[in-house]
Amino acid sequence: MYNSRFHFLKGPFSLGVLARICGGRVYDKHDPSLLIHGIGSLDSAKSGEITFIAIKKTSHKLFNTLASACIMEDYDPKIVPKSIACIISSDPHASYAKIAQKFHPQIPSNPEVSGNADISNSCKIGKKVKIESFTVISDGVVLKDFVEISSGVHIGPNVTVGARTKIFSGVSIECADIGDDVVIYSGVRIGQSGFGFAPTNKGHIKIPQVGQVVIGDNVEIGANCCIDRGSTNNTVIGDGSFLDNLVHVAHNVQIGKHCAIAGQVGIAGSAVIEDFCMFGGQVGIGGHVHIGKAVQAAGQTGITRNVKSGKRIAGTPAVSLTQYHRQAVKLRHLARGTNEKSKN
C-alpha cells in the first residue's frame, strides 16, 4: 500500500492516457476521461485507483474491490461490476507495471560528492554523479554520467560503472565492468575470488581467479547476492536479467538476457543459462550444466544435467513438470495404500 513517507506519487492521469501508456485500449462503453489517482491490488485498491486481473480465477474479487478501474484481457459483463471501468490488454500484468512506473517514477537525486568519501585522484567521474559518505573509489575507476553510489560502498581498482547505475549501501565491487541502468542493492558482493582449487592428498591448492565479472545493461541484483569473478573466462550476466536477494553466481557462469532468478538460487561454476530462463527459489544448478532458452524451473529444483530450450522442470533430480506431478500423485496413492494396510 502506497505511503507518502517513503514513495513519490505522480498524477492523476486519465484512463485514456493510461491505456496509451500501456498499449491497451479503454473498453468501448467506458469513459476515457475518467481520472485515476493511483494503483493498488484487488484487495487494497481504493476508490480512484486502478488494479488488474492476470488470471481469471481471481476475477470474483472484483465484486469486493473499491478500485475505480481494472486492466484485464477480456471484458465480461458477468464478472465486472458497472462501477469499474476497464482497460483491455493482451498482457494485464505488464500493462499494470507500465502504469505503475507512470505513477511512481524514480525521484531524481541531487548530484553531489561527499567530502567524507575516499576517492582516488586517478579515477574518472562523469557528469552529475552522486557519491555518499564513507565510500571508497579506488585507482583507475570509471564512473559514467548520473551514477549514484550510497554510503559505505567499496569499488576496487579499474572497475567501470555505466551511466545511471545505482549502487546501494554496503556493496563491494572488484574486477568488474558494470553496464548502464543497473541497480545493485545493499550488501551485494561482485568480483571476489571464485571457489577454485585443485584437491591433493596433502590438501587443496588454490587456483588464482584471473577473470572478471561483466554485467550488462538494465540488470537488477538483489540484496546480498554474491557474484564471483571468472577463473580464466569471465562471469557474465546478460542485459535485462533480474536476480532476487541471496543468489550465488559462481565463477565462469554465463547468464543470458532477460532471465529472472528468485532468492537463494545457487549456480555452480561454468554453468551456462540462455536467455529468458526463470528459476524459482532455492533452485540448485550443477557445474558445467547447459540450460537452453526459456527454461522454467520450479522452486527447489535440482538441475544436474543439460536442459533443452523451452522445458518446464521440477524436482530433484529435475524432470519435466508433467512427470513431476505424476510422481507426486503416485506417491500419494502409495502412501494411502500403506496407511490402509497398517490399519488392517
CATH code (residue 46): 3.40.1390.10
134 within some domain: no
Asked if 316 and 200 sit in the same domain, the reply is: yes
Give residue 213's domain range: 171-321
Query: Which of residues 103, 122, 139 is at a domain's end?
Result: 103
- Residue 5 clears pLDDT 70, i.e. is over it: yes
- Residue 76 clears pLDDT 90, i.e. is over it: no
C-alpha cell at 223: 540484496
Catalytic residue among 7, 30, 154, 251: 251
The predicted-structure confidence for 101-155, as pLDDT tens digits, reads as follows 999 998 877 888 999 999 999 999 999 999 999 999 999 999 999 999 999 999 9
Asked if 181 and 262 sit in the same domain, the reply is: yes
67 within some domain: yes
The confidence score (pLDDT) of residue 344 equals 57
The predicted-structure confidence for 214-230, as pLDDT tens digits, reads as follows 999 999 999 999 999 99
Find the helix or strand (DSSP H, E) in which 109 lies: none
Enter the pTM of the model.
Answer: 0.89
Query: Which of residues 103, 133, 148 is at a domain's end?
Result: 103
The confidence score (pLDDT) of residue 340 equals 60
Q: How many domains is the chain built from? A: 2
Overall residue count recorded for the chain in this entry:
344
Residue 65 dihedral angles phi and psi, to the nearest 5°: -75, 150
Place of cell 476515457: 32
109 within some domain: no
What is 20-75 written as a DSSP string?
HHHT-EE-TTS-TT-EE-EE--TTT--TTEEEE-SSGGGGGGGGT---SEEEESS-
40 within some domain: yes
Query: Which of residues 74, 103, 132 is at a domain's end?
Result: 103
259 within some domain: yes
Residue 315 Rama label (left phi>0; alpha psi -120 to 50; beta): left
Does the annotation mark 288 as catalytic?
no
C-alpha cell at 340: 490402509
Q: Tell me if 272 sits within 8 A of 295, measured CB to CB.
A: no
Using a 10 angstrom Cβ sphere, with 0-12 exposed, 13-18 middle and 19 or more buried, the burial of residue 1 is: exposed
